[in-house]
Amino acid sequence: MRRVGPPVVKLLDDDVESIKYAMASHLLYSVGKEPISATARDWFMAAAYTVRDRVSEHWMPTLNRYYAEDKKRVYYMSMEFLIGRTLSNAMINLGIYDTVKQAVGEMGIDFDEVLGWEVEAALGNGGLGRLAACLLDSMATLGVPGFGYGIRYDYGMFTQHVEHGWQVESPENWLRYGNPWEFARPGVIYPVRFGGRVVHYKDVLGHTRAQWMDTEEVMAMAYDVPIPGYGGKTVNNLRLWTAKSTREFDLKYFNAGNYIEAVRDKAESETLSKVLYPSDLTDRGKELRFKQEYFFVAASIQDILARFRKSHSDWDKLPEKVAIQLNDTHPAMVVAELMRVLVDEYQIEWHRAWALTRATCAYTNHTLLPEALETWPVDLFARVLPRHLEIVYQLNHEFLQEVRHRHPGDNDLLRRVSVVGEDGERRVRMGHLAVIGSHKVNGVAAIHTGLMKSTIFSDFDHLSPGKINNKTNGVTPRRWLLLSNPGLSALISGKIGDQWVTHLDQLKKLEPFAEDAAFRAEFAAVKRANKQRLAEVISVRLGVDINPDSLFDVQIKRIHEYKRQLLNVLQVVARYSRIRSNPLLDVVPRTVIIGGKAAPGYLMAKLIIKLINDVADVVNNDPLVADKLKVVFVPNYNVSTAELVMPAADLSEQISTAGTEASGTGNMKMSMNGALTIGTWDGANVEICEEVGEENMFLFGLTAQEVARTRHDGYDPKPAIAANAELKKAIDLIASGYFSPDDPARFAPVVDILTHADHYLLTADFASYMAAQDKVDELYRDQSEWSRKSILNVARMGKFSSDRTVSEYARDIWGVPV
């Protein structure tokens, strides 16, 4: 057993004077500045170190407690952790936010300016990474021994700028000024191998063994980030890996004056942790991404097993002490790597190793889109990870033998469930590997899980009934309500107390207040203040003045055709045409706010961003429209921006084609902050509707079943366009170059999709969507009734706390107490 040292003695106080003293000390000793020369960023670093000290006080005792109690540990494997700014969140969770704010103020420093200097950790892109961050927060809050594993990217997805309406990407250099929240662990370093060849031999007992040899090697070094739970009693760990070369430079080349060649190996090795999601438009980009995924998996498995082996020698205890959760297919290589280590390095018998692997691993699926279920060419696999390909082949062979035994003669079933796809180029299906290598597979919303069972994984569901289960996503109320919306949080706590922060179902107590006119007025005042705050930020950053009394219509998420930002643009153009046709028309003033990044190689998504900005340029500068309609594209959408936008939203646009959005979490965040949802019967919208009531939402469009039937029958968008004058006018305006006079044909690809293919059925849903938007306008005219429904949305969001999600994972998948 690991020796546990004495408990850490609490040395730090949390009163104002102690905080001031600590900040002044850190400014001098950690930052190396005196107050007279210190910048706001220097003070941020001093504040961060001060708070980090207090986090660390609870961190070490937490880890020691896990060892002493020999607790089962949950390892959450994710390529993304979109954790956002840490200082404010840590202060909230430690209960010292107001104390630090007062201390900073008494030192004559602008608290908001200090907070604003924190650069977000660029470790994620969208919902996948933000969900991972929410679950880590909830695991720590609930006392679950949860550890995150990911990559410490030098550069994140990218920083998004808008130039002449186009998305322009630049490196997201979030580590430029250092990261006060991380602890480098140069003593925690593991080799990760690539390439080489496999040699088979007989051991002394006559068993066939495999040796992976002649490989290239990269070192994975750990950086730890403490994750405090609410109340500060539990602080878990996020361990991120960075790539280090095994050789700093070649002295022979250096002495010969060839300085670039001297460091070539080092530079190439360390590209593994340079960038989140390198472009996969080239073969080199695909190989780099493939290596990235294995790099963090291999390092994490070595670390997990090293920790397990400190206290246990009996391998049969592995599933009792270790739970590995695969967040989407990116870490699916865990299945093959765990098998390789158990069989090749610890020489555990194959079938025993397979039983241990399946009992230890579980897989969360986040998409129904075939293109998002990763597959890798067999040739790439063979070149980069030859031993793992052998393991995949053997696992697949045994799995197919089992299927063949149960369903003799059904060769089509074998083709469909095979881990190796034989249609066209032979490819390894990572989703299939994750499914057969896990004891549980879950979707992230009820409708999504049902569709998993009936579509992409229907064969697996028939082969293993009950293996696929649902775990509807949730979000942490600490960041998305308590921190981001202090006005509403204070209003809620003043009426029902503050237990809702860790028991979100307590919000149900707000329901009676929806009928209280005075409370509705207070609620509306908070919303108005949040809108005013956002309006001021938009004015400063973008130079667009918006009316805080207009309806804030918000769609912020990754730009993708299935999320249908284009449908939103069509309603904007239709609304604009109405006003232009009748300038005296009495309309509800509306500000449409859209934000999100398009993948660098996704040309259609980037063209949609350009269309949004071109439409905004025309609409916002048309004197006939004035304040009746404004359009704003918010660039470089991230967690900090979301914390401003979510509390200000009146209307939450969740308009993906039914059956395409796995869950969504933006829908939860905005509803939790009092926005009403306009959306399709998709993802978590369905469950939000069950909780808040259909009468308190604006639902429209085809259902997932109707979408499938419409596509199966062969959809032609032309009749729908011809039958709807507003839709036809909107498409004609875009096609004519009205919004792009410098290049009338610019949006021809958009028009072509709408009029010929329309795979995501925008034209089919347009009429229903506009009818729902008309209902939005009608309700918004009655501000008291709008507020009543808004309050009911907040009051009925208890289900959508990530605390509930983690509790269900713990009970049904991980087997750990909560």
| Residue numbers annotated as active site | 366, 557-558, 563, 665, 669
d(C-alpha 615, C-alpha 740), whole Å:
9
Of 694, 692, 686, 647, residue with least CA distance to 670: 647
552 in helix, strand or coil? strand
**Residue 64 CB-density burial (10 A; 0-12 exposed, 13-18 middle, 19+ buried):** middle
> Which one-letter amino acid corresponds to residue 735?
A
Task: Please state the φ and ψ torsions of residue 213, each to the nearest 5 degrees.
Answer: -140, 170
d(C-alpha 746, C-alpha 614), whole Å:
11
* Pairing verdict, β 166-170 and 159-163: antiparallel
Sheet holding 427-429, edge to edge: 375-377, 427-429, 420-421
* Pairing verdict, β 216-228 and 427-429: unpaired
**Residue 275 CB-density burial (10 A; 0-12 exposed, 13-18 middle, 19+ buried):** buried
417-444 burial: b if 16+ Cβ within 10 Å, else e: bbbbbeeeeebbbbbbbbbbbbbbbbbb
**For the CA atoms of 231, 237, 240, 245, what is the dihedral angle to 10 degrees?**
140
Q: Where are the alpha helices (DSSP H) in 341-485?
A: 350-360, 378-384, 386-406, 411-417, 430-436, 446-454, 458-463, 477
DSSP 702: -
d(C-alpha 283, C-alpha 268), whole Å:
16
DSSP 744: T
Task: Please state the φ and ψ torsions of residue 73, each to the nearest 5 degrees.
Answer: -110, 145
432 in helix, strand or coil? helix
Of 73, 86, 89, 67, residue with least CA distance to 149: 73
* Pairing verdict, β 216-228 and 183-194: antiparallel
